[in-house]
Structure 1
Amino acid sequence: MSLHSAAAHLVTLAEGAENGGNHDSLSPYLTGFGAFGTLLLLLWITTRFNRDR
Structure 2
Amino acid sequence: MSNAAALPVLNLLAEGGGNHDSLNPLLTGGSALFILVLLLFITTRFNRDR
Scaled by the length of structure 2, what TM-score is found? 0.69
Instruction: Kindly provide the amino acid, as one letter, of the partner of residue 10 in structure 1.
Output: A
Q: Higher Cα Rg: structure 1 or 2?
A: 1
Q: Where do 5+ consecutive residues of structure 1 fail to align?
A: none
Matched, 1:27 2:24: yes
Give the TM-score normalised by the residue count of structure 1.
0.66
Q: What is the percent sequence identity of the aligned residues?
A: 53
1:6 aligns with 2:19: no
Task: Encode CA deviations 1:7-53: one digit per residue, 9 max, x unaligned.
Answer: 02212212326xx7144110000101000001011101110111235
- Runs in 1 of length 4+ with deviation above 3 angstroms? none
**Pairs aligned (count):** 47
- Decide which moves more: 24-33 or 8-17: 8-17
